[in-house]
Amino acid sequence: MARILMISLILLMQSGCMDQKIVEELGFIHTIGYESIEEGENIGKLKVTVSFPIAETLEQQTNTTVVDTPRESMLFLNQKTDKNLVLGQVRSILIGEKLAEKGVWDLIDTFYRDPVLRPTVKLSLVKGSPQQMLSKDYPNYQMVDTVIEELLTKEARLNTIPEMDIHKFAKDYLDDAIDPIAPIILQSEDGIMSEGIGLFRDDQLVTSLPEIKSRVFFLLTGEFKEGKLLIKTNKEENVLFSFLKNKRSIKVAINNNQDIDVNLSIELKGFLLEYQGKKDINNEKQMAEMEGDIQEYIENQIKEILEIMKEHKIDNLGIGKYIKRKMDYQTWKNLDWPKSIDRINIHPTVTVTIIDTGLVK
Amino acid sequence: MQNETFKPFYLFFITYMTQMGIVFFSLPNSIATHFGYNGWIMIIPISVVVCIQIGLIAIIYRFNKGESIFQTIESLNSKAKMIVMPLYISLSIFWSILSVTIAKHYVHVMKFLYFPQTDMQWFVLLTLILTFYLVTRGIITIVHITTIFFFLSAPIIFLLFYFVPDFSFLQFSTFLFNENTDFYGGIIEVYTAFLGFEVILFMFPYISKEKSGFKYVFWGHLYTSFVYLIVTIFCYGFNSIQQLTRQVYPVVTLMKYIEFEFIERLDSIIFILFYLKVLITITMYVWISLITLKRVVKWSDNLIVFVLLAVGYLATLPFVTKKESISLLSALTNVQLFISVILPLLLLMIIFKKRRSNG
């Protein structure tokens, strides 16, 4: 009996060879772009663009199709190429701005559901058309999809855009104390560049922050630990300030279950890299003045960001999470966050210390 | 075979490896769904209850002086053997069906996540053949292999360090058990995740007699609790609670997130490594059904195991879809939960009755 079983064991092991995939026959989709069609006969439909590398020529191929649902697109795209398109290696998803304004959760849910895809697939918004971005020939780039991916990674490291993947988006979207954000990229004349961050209400894009404001935004989330900030004070001065340390704390005080006070304090330490203006940067008194100017500038930026959030009744900073901690469950539910964000008082305070001004006196 | 014994410290591996099963992958989800905010706390009281259960088994072990529980039951009176025979048969069939269902469930999940083209029945058969080989080798080999499998799969826990940067205490909030649904159902479900400790009951004759050898069962159980607790806490800190209630296998999602420069998709390797744990769980249940049936029939081990596996396989054949197999599994584990509570109590009653009549 044991021998019979041994033979059948070996035979059964052969079934491991059934689930095979031959690399040359596959088209590993690298980037998928989605946009909604705004005009023409296909209005309201979805335009899906995929880009995948061709192993033999090391070039990138793009395919586009027009469909009703995201998943349907795979069927049509597959018909347009000799490769068998697979989703296992998707690195980033580009969503057109217009589509994002209508809501993206259905799209992300499809990806989040699929066991083949990774939760680390990067998510970004495109000003304009993802199709044009992917299919254009760029003189400086060989494969634009990998450039996009690397740009997103690099810019996220430098804290100009958030590092957003489908897992993080789902996390913030489903959480009731925070609204999601996503980076925005656009097609410039000679390539691709990042353009600040898009702020969502639930899954709909409502507004965006330009690049300078998005750096300040990251100061507020506490993610900005190190980096540079260009400061233009109203006295026609330009300061390039480089951070070494950023300490952020959020304190919530609730009085009589009604008044919610949030104290946002940011403590920055760093050195001046570049200065254009009339101040003498070797004079201590004028340096203190400059610290004050930088503080004022950042505080104003923060106030503007908070105004934007209050205007649209969104909380992309996650202040809700701090408020949630101070409340019992029922009070939190009654608060109906983030619709009540304009009822709370947020007081930002910024302290700037300039440690050094560089090698030259 | 009665003479073969193993050192008590192997009990640590046996307990842990039998307890840990496929439930592990979905545990944070069922905790989040059933207990809501900060539901991970519930692992602690349930683990304590299981500790008390193991304490009962330890008391039985002490009174039994290493005698097998079958002898304890049958020595009650001369007629007892006649009564318990049908019980033995039904229990051993039940355990064989349970083990095949566990195997099927694992294969279902594996097929869905990683190998969509693999034929389910083939893989189940493969598992059963491996189980056959393991079980017929006897308990000593099973114990040794369990130990090897433990060291193969144990280092996975260190991967949790990868999530330390993404871990946020803010996600926990201060609410306790809000947004829970079916609290008692949740307790049952978490309790079933600890099932497997009761197989120790059947090992008494095979444990070499050493002072306080039984503590290793407690250590094994505490290690299982620790792994459950730390993974659930990490899931709570890594996901938002609403997200956790939506993920079917949060632990798989957690592992999918791991990406190194040289390797990605680690989750598929880990999931396949987990096969070893599932194999041990299956093997242990088939083994207890083997020694139970041996009290009734005088066949060879090979034949008994073959019959048991065949019965188990045929009995689970009608359950094809994942939904069916899950509902079968949950029904069977509920029965097993009942057995794990009743059996030690029953044995204790018998022991006390005997002591009273003797003394």
Helix (H, G, I), strand (E, B) or coil at A151: helix
Residues on chain A touching B257 (C-beta within 8 angstroms): 118-120, 167
User: What residue spans of B75-212 are helical by DSSP H?
Assistant: 80-113, 120-136, 139-153, 183-193
Residue contact B129–A8, C-beta within 8 A: yes
Distance from CA of B227 to the nearest CA of A (A): 23
The β-bridge partners of A187 are: A192
Distance in angstroms (rounded) separating the CA atoms of residues B300 and B108:
32
- Tokens 């810019």, residue? A155
For A165, the closest chain B residue by CA position comes to: B257
Residue A3 vs residues B126, B221, B301: alpha-carbon distances, Å: 15, 38, 16
Task: Give the neighbor-by-neighbor strand order of the sheet with A237-255.
Answer: A227-233, A237-255, A259-276, A345-356
* Percent above pLDDT 70 for chain B: 99
Q: Which chain B positions have a beta carbon within 8 Å of A326's beta carbon?
A: 174
**Terminal CA-CA length for chain B:** 32
A210-361 has which CATH code?
Answer: 3.30.300.210
Residue B81 pLDDT class (50, 70, 90 cuts): confident
Tell whether the torsion through CA atoms of B195, B201, B202 and B208 is positive or negative: positive
How do the domains of chain A map onto residue ranges? Answer: 24-209, 210-361
B306 touches chain A (CB under 8 A): yes
Residue B133 touches chain A, beta carbons under 8 Å = yes
Q: Is the pLDDT of residue B29 over 90?
A: yes
Cα separation, A51 vs A61, whole angstroms: 6
A114 sits in which H/E element: none
Residue B37, both tokens? 């905010």
Q: Does B355 touch chain A (CB under 8 A)?
A: no
To the nearest whole Å, the CA of B270 is away from the closest chain A CA by 15
Question: Would you call A288 an interface residue with chain B, using a CB distance cutoff of 8 Å?
Answer: no
Q: How many CA atoms lie within 13 A of B210 on its CB side?
A: 14
Query: Could you write out the DSSP letters of every residue in A70-99?
Result: TTHHHHHHHHTSSSEEESTT--EEEEEHHH
Is there a contact between A202 and A217 (Cβ–Cβ < 8 Å)?
A: no
- Could you please report the per-residue DSSP string of A224-270? --SEEEEEEETTTEEEEEEEEEEEEEEEEEEETTTEEEEEEEEEEEE
If 0-12 CB within 10 Å is exposed, 13-18 middle and 19+ buried, where does residue B184 land?
Answer: exposed
Instruction: Find, in chain A, the residue whose alpha carbon is nearest to that of B109.
Output: A115
Q: Which residues of B touch A176 (CB under 8 A)?
A: 242
CATH number of B10-358: 1.20.1740.10
The kind and range of the H/E element at B290 are helix B266-293
B300 contacts chain A (CB < 8 A): no
CB A134 within 8 A of CB A145: yes
Kindly state the tokens that stand for A356.
């050094």
Residue B208 in contact with residue B8, Cβ under 8 Å?
Answer: yes
Q: Token pair of A68, please?
A: 């009703």
Q: What is the pLDDT of residue B132?
A: 92
Cβ of A347 under 8 Å from any chain B Cβ?
no
Residues of B in Cβ contact (< 8 Å) with A119: 253, 256-257
What is the least distance, in Å, from the CA of B117 to any CA of chain A? 6
d(CA A227, CA A223): 11
Q: Contacts from B119-123 at CB under 8 Å and sequence distance 24+? A: B119/A15, B119/A18, B122/A12, B122/A15, B123/A15
Q: Closest partner residue to B178 among A115, A120, A329, by Cβ?
A: A329
Q: What pLDDT is attached to residue B191?
A: 92
Minimal C-alpha gap between B232 and chain A (Å): 16
Q: How far is CA B309 from the centre of its chain?
A: 18
Flag if A119 and B256 touch (Cβ within 8 Å). Answer: yes
Rounded to whole angstroms, the Cα distance separating A117 from B257 reads 11
- Collect all residues of chain B within an 8 Å Cβ-Cβ radius of residue A15: 118-119, 122-123, 126
Cβ-based contacts of B126 with chain A (< 8 Å): 9, 12-13, 15
Q: A125 forms bridges with which residues in the sheet?
A: A95, A184
- Closest Cβ–Cβ partner in A18, A120, A174 for B118: A18
Cα-Cα-Cα-Cα dihedral sign, residues A54, B259, A125, A79: positive
Search chain A and give the residue with CA nearest B136: A2
The span from the CA of A281 to the CA of B105, in Å, is 71
Grade residue B216 by pLDDT with cuts at 50, 70 and 90: very high
Which residues on chain B are in Cβ contact (under 8 Å) with A2?
302
pLDDT at B313 over 70: yes
What residues of chain B lie within 8 A of the CB of A13, using their CB?
126
Q: Tell me how close the Cα of B244 comes to any Cα of chain A, in angstroms.
A: 9
- Please give the pLDDT value at position B3: 61
pLDDT recorded at residue B46? 94
What number of other Cβ atoms are within 10 A of residue A348's Cβ?
19
- ipTM value > 0.90: no
For residue B122, give how far its alpha carbon lies from the nearest alpha carbon of chain A (Å).
7
Compute the residue count for chain B: 359
Contact list in A for residue B116 (CB cut-off 8 A) is: 19
pLDDT of B1 reads: 45
Over residues B254-268, mean pLDDT: 82
- Which residue from B minimizes the CA distance to A330? B178
A325 to B174: CB separation less than 8 angstroms, yes or no: yes
b/e sequence A260-290, b meaning 16+ C-beta within 10 Å:
bebebebebebebeebeeebebeeeeebeeb
Contacts of A120 in chain B (CB under 8 A): 256-257, 259
Q: How many CA atoms lie within 13 A of B102 on its CB side?
A: 37
Q: What pLDDT shows up at residue A225? A: 66
B240 → closest Cβ in A119, A171, A326: A171
Q: Do B265 and A118 touch (CB under 8 A)?
A: yes
pLDDT for the residue numbered B71: 84
Beta bridge partners of A49: A33, A64
Cα separation of B286 and B94, whole Å?
10
- What DSSP string describes B123-142? HHHHHHHHHHHHHHT-HHHH
Interface test with B, best of A105, A118, A164 (most B CBs within 10 A): A118
Q: Alpha-carbon distance B68 to B204, whole Å?
A: 6
- Judged by CB atoms closer than 8 Å, whether chains meet at B116 and A19 is answered as yes
Higher pLDDT, A78 or B244: B244
- Report, as ranges of residue numbers, the positions in chain A whose pLDDT lies below 50: none
Look at A115 and B133 and tell me if their CB atoms are within 8 Å: no
Taking each continuous run of H as one helix and of E as one strand, the counts in chain B are: 14, 0
Q: Which of B253, B254, B271 to mutate to test the interface with A (most CBs of A within 10 A)?
A: B253
Q: Nearest-CA distance from A285 to chain B in Å? A: 41
| B263 reaches A (C-beta below 8 A) | no
Calculate how close chain A gets to B157, using CA atoms only, in Å.
Answer: 20
CB contact under 8 A, A318 and B170: yes
